[in-house]
Amino acid sequence: MIGLRTSPYRNLRVVLHGVLLIAWALFALVSHAQVHNGTVEAPSDHAVRLDGLWHFTPGPLPGADTTTATPPSPTTLQVPGNWDKLQSTFGSGTYGLELRQLQPGRTYALQFKGIASEATISINGTPIGRWGAQGVAFVPQVYFFQATAPQAMLQVAVHNQHLSFSGLWMPVYFGPAEAVSQAALQTQFFDAVLLGGVLIIAVYHLGLFGFRPHDPASLYFSIFSMLSVLKASLSGEHLLYTVLPWLDQGVGLRVAYLATIALPVTFMAYLQAIFPVRHYDKARLALLVAALPAVLLSLLAPFHILQSWFWPYQIAIIGVLAHVAYTLSGAIRQRLPGAQLMFAGFIVIFVAAINDILHDNRLIVTFYAFNIGVFVFLLLQALLMGGMFARAFNRAQELNETLEQKVRERTHELEELSRRDPLTGLMNRRWFMENLHREWERWERYQDDFCVALVDVDYFKRINDSQGHSAGDAALQGLARLLESHLRKTDWVSRHGGEEFCVLLPHTDLFHANTVLEKMRLQCAATQGFTFSYGVALASRYRRAEDLLNGADRLMYQAKQAGRNRGCSDTAVSATQLH
């Protein structure tokens, strides 16, 4: 079960340590080359990230007369970064980087994670590729060239007319062709595994909702997971364009913003379903109010306006997340089941969201961490919901076991009632016949003889007529107690109907059966105020159980005809008159 039975923040510490370990591993995957004043040494066997100061020559301002204008002076510019501080966002410029210690004849590769928004990549003035030739582009691209000398000049001529950020705003990787290609594949594989895992979680919980439609938490969780996959597949490595190469990347940008808008709204709905408290109502309303203009921007605004004016909604997201953090901390203090895991996952996705927001606004230069954050978050939420379902299942199982126990008890009571005569408490005729047939089968198998006696109250009608039916009932009840008191635990007695009783005596011959019945008859005559007659039949003298019972009945009527208050068996008649 998921709960708070140990240290209140134990799960949180474990998760944060795991996230730090993952971040360290990702950082260690790629080395960072030292770019100084526009020069870098080529690695021999691995890919490096070309962070540092590149040569940069600003281009002419839009609409400027290039024939009379003074050529701009070369300078240096941080990569990854923007040229906004040097010139207008909408403009052009050329980045330059001197590549040293190349091995002539060897093939090298350059991977650009993002350029805003069109570019031509050249080596020693010879173009080796184009970026965004058909409009805005976001999918990382790899370009190859073969070294002809130990040194080469990399030039990236960039022109931006669509986006609110400019230039080489994303990292650039460089190294031998096989190393860069392998690093690119590893990154794509890592993203694919994360997104595949999240998609599986989404489909699984959608299936759970199908089985439990009254519980909306699974539905909200599934929608949140799917939106996370959509958002993550349109950022970072932009894997959705690999699956759907025909998808326009401008449309994909708008879809990514719409998914970003829907994510916190869905998250609030999921949180409300897991921890239903009032505090969410105002926060959710504020988020919806902020979401409306953001949706309009995402659908209608040009790209540069959308990117420049999306920050109010991002501020609203941060505010809502802070409110959620406060609410979840209260859930932890109240020791609500699952609050620890929810808070730990929330912290992970909160840090990832803040990182991506700052990265989107070029306030920091890191990498898109949303994929990792949402995977860790959803994994923890899957554990949380698994714990909830486990607790619900355990409760249902306990209730089911309790219900089954009650059903067994009630069934046993009903069986007892169905087997018992309500007046005397003895077994009824049906139950007696079942036992008689079992005893008969045992007799046929083992030849262990037994007897059946039929007892009938003498002149019972006179008792009812002279003393009333209550006296007749009392007589039957008294006789039932008397018969039971003389029987062994292995014997059976039942009310056969009216004033008749049947006695089953296993492992008994006629002599001992007559002895027992005679004791009963004599005691009844002495203590009950009435007499009875009986007939005793021996099983070995009959072919069927029914014949045995009919034989006892015939013998009982013989005793009646002989004067009553006596017994008759297959061999003799016992007749002791009551005086």
Name the pLDDT band for 268 (thresholds 50, 70, 90).
confident
pLDDT at 291 over 80: yes
Domains of the chain with CATH codes: 10-27+215-395 (no CATH), 33-62+72-181 (2.60.120.260), 429-575 (3.30.70.270)
Confidence band of 391 (pLDDT split at 50, 70, 90): confident
Q: How many whole angstroms separate alpha carbon 144 and alpha carbon 110?
A: 6
Task: Check whether 390 has a pLDDT greater than 80.
Answer: no
Q: Please report, rounded to a whole number, the percentage of residues in the chain having pLDDT higher than 90.
A: 40
3-state secondary structure of 448: coil
Mean pLDDT of 324-329: 80
Q: Provide mean pLDDT across the span 464-482.
A: 92
Q: How confident is the model at residue 140, as a pLDDT?
A: 92
Exposure on the CB side of residue 532, measured as CA atoms within 13 A: 29
With CA atoms as reference, report the closest residue to 299 among 262, 260, 258, 266.
258
What is the CB-side half-sphere exposure of residue 472 using CA atoms within 13 A? 16
CA distance to 208, 458, 567, per residue, from 527 (Å): 72, 15, 18
Over residues 130-154, the mean pLDDT reads 89
Instruction: Give pLDDT, residue 19.
Output: 52
DSSP state of 234: T
What average pLDDT does this structure show over 191-199?
86
Q: What is the CA radius of gyration of the chain?
A: 47
Q: Reduce the DSSP state of residue 429 to 3 states and report it.
A: helix
Contact (CB, 8 A) for 556 and 454: yes
Residue 419 has pLDDT above 50, yes or no: yes
Tokens encoding 32: 């960072």
Residue 438: what pLDDT? 92
Q: What is the mean pLDDT of the chain?
A: 84
**E-assigned strand segments in 24-151:** 31-32, 39-41, 48-49, 52-58, 75-79, 91-100, 107-112, 118-123, 126-131, 141-146
pTM of the model: 0.63
Judged against a pLDDT cut of 50, whether residue 572 lies above it is answered with no
> What does each C-alpha distance from 313 to 255, 310, 473, 513 come to in angstroms?
16, 6, 87, 98
Q: What is the mean pLDDT of residues 451-457?
A: 95
Query: What CA–CA distance (Å, rounded) separates 127 from 305?
Result: 32
d(CA 442, CA 281): 75
User: What is the helix (H) or strand (E) element at residue 208, kind and residue range?
Assistant: helix 177-211
Report the residue count for the chain: 579
Q: Which is nearest to 230 in space by CA: 263, 187, 268? A: 263
* Secondary structure of residue 540 in the 3-state scheme: helix
- Encode pLDDT of 351-389 as tens digits: 877 877 776 666 776 667 777 777 777 777 777 767 767
Tokens of 287: 């988020």
State residue 65's pLDDT score: 52
**Token pair for residue 577?**
């008159």
What's the rounded Cα separation, in Å, for the pair 145 and 28? Answer: 26
- What pLDDT does 108 receive? 97
Maximal CA-CA distance, the chain: 153
d(CA 477, CA 479): 5
Choose the weakest-confidence range: 317-321, 336-340, 572-576. Answer: 572-576
Q: What is the dihedral of CA 32, 37, 41, 46, to 10 degrees?
A: 20
- Reported as a pLDDT band with limits 50, 70 and 90, residue 324 is confident
- Report which DSSP code applies to 162: S
- The stretch 151-159 carries a mean pLDDT of 94
pLDDT computed for residue 131 by the predictor: 92
Looking at 23-32, 269-278, 463-472, 526-535, which range is the least confident one?
23-32
Residue 307 · residue 165 · CB < 8 Å: yes
Distance separating alpha carbons of residues 131 and 540, to the nearest angstrom: 107
Cα(270)–Cα(217) distance, rounded to whole angstroms? 5
Reply yes or no on whether the pLDDT at 537 is more than 60: yes
User: Vertex 345, ends 342 and 346: CA angle to 5°?
Assistant: 80
Inter-residue contact 402 to 370 (CB < 8 Å): no
d(CA 470, CA 367): 95
For residues 503-522, average pLDDT: 94
Contact 525, 457 (CB under 8 A): no
Kindly give the interhelix angle for 339-360 and 311-333, rounded to the nearest 10 degrees: 160
Q: Sorting pLDDT into bands at 50, 70 and 90, what band is 277? A: low
**How many Cβ atoms sit within 10 Å of the Cβ of residue 355?**
18
The residue written with tokens 């001992």 in the block is 512
Query: Would you state the pLDDT for residue 5?
Result: 40
Specify the DSSP class assigned to residue 142: E
* pLDDT for residue 69: 56
Cα separation of 145 and 152, whole Å? 10
β-pairing, 31-32 vs 48-49, is: parallel
Residue listed under structure tokens 């005679």: 518
Query: Which has the closest alpha carbon to 38: 155, 145, 150, 135?
Result: 155
Q: Residue 384 is which amino acid?
A: L
Top mean-pLDDT range of 148-152, 165-169, 318-322, 459-463: 148-152
Q: Is 120 helix (H, G, I), strand (E, B) or coil?
A: strand
The predicted pLDDT at position 474 comes to 93
How far apart CA 476 and CA 456 sit, in angstroms, is 10
> What is the predicted pLDDT for the residue at 215?
82
* pLDDT tens digit sequence for 36-87: 888 999 998 999 999 989 999 998 644 445 555 566 788 999 898 889 888 8
